[in-house]
Amino acid sequence: GQRMCLVGENGAGKSTLLKILAGVIDMDQGARRLGHNVELGYFSQARLDVLNPLKTVLEGVCSAKAGVRAQDARTLLGLFNFHDDDVFKSIKILSGGEKSRVILAKLLINPPNFILLDEPTTHLDLDGVQALTNAFKKYEGTLCFISHDLFFVKEIANHIVHVDTGKLTHYYGDLDYYLEKRKETDTQKEQAQKILKQKIKQDRRT
């Protein structure tokens, strides 16, 4: 049930960490061990090759789960703005954003118990973001994700991890808790810097 968001500056290593957790890239040192009975799913905007371009949108989603009812798949696709005859479009003619939405639908039609997501709300409109948010509110597994969508982060995350060039700092709470603690830390740093500057001035005088 933990829903962990990785935050930090661009280039801090968030996507690299997520790829290591997903087993997509090797690490320089250390070990990666999945827990007992962990089923992992990974969403990356760059991995559009997970779709079969010869299938329709509906066929692509239904292929993710044996025995899934077409109506259930169409209902889910409707949440991602694939309505009526849209579900019969060939995947090969879809835009990058539409393909991303199909991948998310495939992930949610048969969700694993541990999902890694890299910017899942990119290319989604407001209704799509709300639909994805509602879906993950009901999801009972574990999430680890990166997102710059503050609404999505605020609604979903219950654990924030600040990534800073290899250093991880855990905040065991939601986005508001993280922002509050960061503000306290920044205030403490400012006070420490003022004290240090005052001490330097005093030392120079003496």
pLDDT 10s digits, 42-81: 988 666 667 889 999 999 999 988 889 999 999 999 988 8
pLDDT 10s digits, 159-180: 999 999 889 999 999 999 999 9
Sign of the dihedral through C-alpha 53, 113, 171, 125: positive
Question: Would you say 18 and 173 are in contact if contact means Cβ atoms under 8 Å apart?
Answer: no
**From the centroid of its chain, how far is CA 191?**
35
Round to whole Å and give the CA distance between 156 and 175: 9
User: Residue 6: in which H helix or E strand, if any?
Assistant: strand 3-7
| pTM of the full structure | 0.80
CB burial class (10 A; 0-12, 13-18, 19+) of residue 9? exposed
